[in-house]
């Protein structure tokens, strides 16, 4: 399957759907990620705090030996800076650590994982990411879980706008105002946990199931298509090859205005309590 791409504000491109890799680790994790690449995924999303950067790097190298080889240059590898490494020098050292884990010369996208405003070092960390981009160790740079206020401060104090902001986003928490801010500043939105979790599975919602039945697709595909149509890049995680393919197969149908309006009735707020103003991650 071929995934359409979006253009970042730095001129680089990024697939409009990617693979979340949280908890895909060990030999099985590498195999699952390699299978995903074989199925058509080209965006792999990891983080230093996920503890599986080595497995992601192994999958990147294994892709070169697939029946239809996929080169390093065809893949977009993302990693993230943990809170304990906020700061200019710390950010540079942290990516160097991640590159050592990945055994890669660069990452395609590097994000500040959380803003940690109580620590108040995210602007210094952002300056470190700018330096990493200038050195070519990170091709594109962005953030995760930042609010409009955090983003505005980065832009005003450094003159550099993040290419991406990866946030909690799903039909129950559509982040309309934040997405409007992103559009105004040409920031691409990525969605973590786009399908919820086993404790909060909104693919079971009657509204979603009704749309899926009408279109002849699965509820999961309806939710992922919703992300695509609101302009966000979903990052569903699955280690199952069939589910990976199902998640990828969302570019052959469209939701109507009526479908989108019906899904909008599900809005209820955050599912995980991850308020960027208070959440701490180190």
Catalytic residues: 50
- Distance, in Å, from the CA atom of 143 to the CA atom of 245, rounded to the nearest integer, reads 28
DSSP state of 72: G
Give the pairing of strands 5-7 and 13-15. antiparallel
What is the gyration radius of the CA atoms in the chain, in angstroms?
18
Contact 235, 228 (CB under 8 A): no
- Distance, in Å, from the CA atom of 128 to the CA atom of 147, rounded to the nearest integer, reads 20
How many Å separate Cα 176 from the centre of its chain? 18
Contact 105, 99 (CB under 8 A): yes
Contact 176, 184 (CB under 8 A): no
């Amino acid at each position: 399957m071929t995934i359409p791409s979006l253009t970042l504000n730095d001129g680089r491109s990024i697939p409009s759907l990617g693979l979340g890799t949280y908890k895909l680790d060990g030999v099985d994790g590498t195999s699952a990620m390699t299978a995903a690449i074989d199925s058509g995924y080209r965006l792999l999303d990891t983080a230093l705090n996920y503890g599986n950067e080595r497995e992601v790097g192994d999958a990147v190298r294994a892709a070169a030996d697939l029946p239809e080889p996929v080169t390093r240059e065809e893949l977009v590898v993302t990693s993230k800076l943990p809170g304990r490494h906020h700061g200019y020098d710390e950010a540079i050292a942290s990516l160097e650590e991640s590159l050592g884990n990945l055994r890669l010369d660069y990452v395609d996208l590097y994000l500040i994982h959380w803003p940690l405003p109580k620590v108040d070092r995210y602007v210094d960390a952002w300056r470190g990411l700018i330096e990493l981009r200038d050195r070519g160790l990170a091709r594109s740079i962005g953030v995760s879980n930042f609010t409009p206020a955090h983003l505005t401060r980065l832009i005003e104090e450094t003159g550099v706008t993040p290419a991406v902001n990866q946030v909690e986003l799903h039909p129950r928490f559509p982040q309309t105002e934040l997405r409007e801010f992103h559009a105004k500043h040409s920031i691409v939105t990525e969605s973590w946990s786009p399908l919820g979790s086993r404790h909060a599975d909104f693919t079971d919602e009657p509204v979603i199931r009704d749309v899926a039945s009408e279109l002849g697709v699965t509820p999961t595909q309806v939710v992922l298509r919703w992300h695509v149509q609101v302009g966000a890049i979903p990052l569903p995680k699955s280690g199952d090859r069939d589910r990976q393919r199902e998640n990828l197969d969302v570019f052959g149908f469209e939701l109507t205005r009526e479908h989108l309006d019906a899904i909008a009735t599900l809005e209820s707020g955050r599912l995980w309590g991850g308020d960027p103003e208070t959440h701490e991650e180190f």
